[in-house]
Structure 1
Amino acid sequence: MQMPLVMGVDGARFGWIAVMRDTADPSFADVRMFAQFGDILTSAVPPSIVAVDMPIGLPERAGAGGRGPERAVRPLIRERQSSVFSVPSRAAVYCDDYRTACSIALVTSDPPRKVSKQAFALFPKIREIDSLMTAEREAQIYEVHPEVAFWRLNGERAMSLPKKVKSRINSPGLDERSELLERYGFAREFLSQKPPRGSARDDLVDACASCLIAERILQGKARPFPEDYERDVRGLRMAIWA
């Protein structure tokens, strides 16, 4: 295997699904499941760039529309913007109890806003990354968002079909995204394979899109949203890359 290796990572039901590509041989692609995000960083062949679909950098107070990254990318993906949830305050993210998280979110947001059940389900994974992130690791780990990735890969046009409808996988939407990924070198057989145990087809497709953004980051072609991003109290940048 040639280096450098880039990786797109998506949170799945049982851990993290990771799609890897060798930038010297784009025909090479592999997919693995990791129980913990930290396992990616200590793997036998650690990737040069990790593009992960999970918020990095947490606000002390949440403003209208969430952090700067959420506000910056929603207009780009238009009808797909419902896939971008507003990240609440750090104190709310570090709550294990839903009602408590909502109470804290209310007093640490302006205007006051509770936490959605969908966002709350992601809190353990957000905390997992937050506990590992350092200023030094910012050169390796970048926050991405699949629909923003598809927007970029699709000539800066939002995908026309939803990936899910009423929380169920929408096959035409996934097929539309898979066809786009094929144009960037992913084999049809790779995209249509049975996903690893603990993940779903949409997780695999999203991880592939994130992997392509990892390549763009390595090549210096990606840019952050917003470009004038802020940093949280720990000094971590708050930006979605594409």
Structure 2
Amino acid sequence: MPLPFAGIDGCRGGWIVARWDGNANLRLMRVAAVADVFDAPQPPVTAAVDMPIGLPERIGAKGRAPERLVRPLLGKRQSSVFSVPSRAAVMAGIGDGDESERYRAACAAARASSDPPRAVAKQCFHLFPKIAEVDLLLRNRPELCNQLVECHPEVAFFVMNGQRALELPKKVHNRPHPPGLDLRIRLLEAWGIPTDLLNEQNARALGAGLDDLVDACACAVSARRMSDGKALSFPDPPERDAFGLPVAIVA
């Protein structure tokens, strides 16, 4: 059956994908690479990924325009939006070398391309391979820019919650917070996502956390809103990076 919308969320060693028809049919899967989503026999019409698209050559104190625009909307959840470093910093931090050496190289590149100079947070550094994967995919296959947009689950939930920030976190001290996860699952259900698959058993089977499944479904809602012409864009219109990739969070 056609599943035209896809939400993509990074997990350890791969990506969780929520394929959705906009109604009662949802499929959750794990893929090794984002390209696999589009190389499938029936690729999605629209997909939204929780990963930055469009990397700056230089970066200011509060990140790209998308980060600066969405943080004030999220209340206590704004810390979930990290500042994306420059492309030079990301590329310096990937590869097969020693991790500590790559981290030092990334921090040096980040300081040289930021104002004021700042290093890279370790949490962000560990996302560099996935950031680079999406960046290189879209640079090599620019036609996918019409199908794949950047989103952020907490911004998606902000929209689903009537443009109100969620009070409850989904994690506390880096552990799942059931009340926050339940709140998000209820919002997904209200927006038409079948939620019977959103449980710990399915998460373990996919080698991911329940929050990864929930976030992928939130991205799928953003993908459908994009396809329907109803999505919000931060900024609107999107900016463009040096390679012409759009720079905007869509929800």
TM-score, normalising length: structure 1: 0.95
Which residue matches 1:61? 58
Does residue 39 of structure 2 align to residue 42 of structure 1?
Answer: yes
- Give the whole-Å Cα distance in 2 for the aligned partners of 1:145 and 1:33: 19
SS at match of 1:194: helix
Letter matched to residue 117 of structure 1: K
**d(CA) in 2 for partners of 1:229, 1:18:** 25
- Equivalent AA in structure 2 for residue 130 of structure 1: D
Identify the match of residue 218 of structure 1 among 224, 227, 237.
Answer: 227
Whether the 8 Å contact between 1:58 and 1:90 is mirrored in structure 2 is yes
1:182 alignment partner AA: E
Q: Deviations over 1:87-139 (max 9, x none)?
A: 00000001231111111111110111110011001000011011110442211
Question: Which residue of 142, 149, 163 corresponds with 1:142?
Answer: 149
Tell me which residue corresponds to 1:82: 79
CA contact 1:7–1:19 (8 Å) conserved in 2: yes
CA deviation vs aligned residue, 1:128-170 (integer Å, no higher than 9, x gap): 0111104422110000000000000110011110111121111
Q: 2:193 and 2:245 mapped to 1: Cα distance?
A: 32
Matched, 1:32 2:29: yes
Whether 1:19 aligns to 2:18 is yes
Give the equivalent residue in structure 2 for 1:103.
Answer: 108
Alignment match, 1:128: 133
Q: Partner residue of 1:208?
A: 217
Tell me what 2:202 maps to.
Answer: 194
Whether the aligned pair in 2 keeps the contact of 1:14 and 1:199 (CA below 8 Å) is: no
Distance 2:181 2:234 in 1: 25
In 2: Cα distance, 1:187 partner to 1:90 partner: 38
The aligned amino acid for 1:107 is A
> What one-letter code is carried by the residue in structure 1 that aligns with 2:53?
I
Check conservation: 1:65, 1:86, Cα contact below 8 A: yes
- Which secondary structure state, in structure 1, belongs to the residue aligned with residue 25 of structure 2? strand
Letter in 1 for 2:106: A
Runs of 4+ in 1 over 4 A off after TM superposition: none
Which residue number corresponds to residue 237 of structure 1?
Answer: 246
Range moving further from structure 2, 131-140 or 102-111: 131-140
Question: What letter corresponds to residue 194 of structure 1 in structure 2?
Answer: N
5+ long unaligned stretches in structure 1: none
Shift of 1:45: 1.0
Structure 2: stretches of 5+ with no match in the other structure: 95-101
TM-score, normalised to structure 2's length?
0.92
- Amino acid paired to 2:52: P
Whole-angstrom distance in 1 between the partners of 2:202 and 2:179: 17
Q: Are residue 161 (structure 1) and residue 168 (structure 2) matched?
A: yes
Higher mean alpha-carbon deviation, 184-193 vs 129-138, is at 184-193
Q: Deviations over 1:183-216 (max 9, x none)?
A: 1223342222521432110000000011011110
Match of 1:175 in 2: 182
Count of aligned pairs: 239
Match of 1:8 in 2: 7
Does the CA-based 8 Å contact 2:2-2:42 persist in structure 1?
no
The structure with the greater share of residues assigned to strand is 1
Q: For residue 112 of structure 1, what is the aligned residue in structure 2?
A: 117
Displacement after TM superposition at 1:229 (Å): 2.9
CA contact (8 A) 2:74 2:158 kept: yes
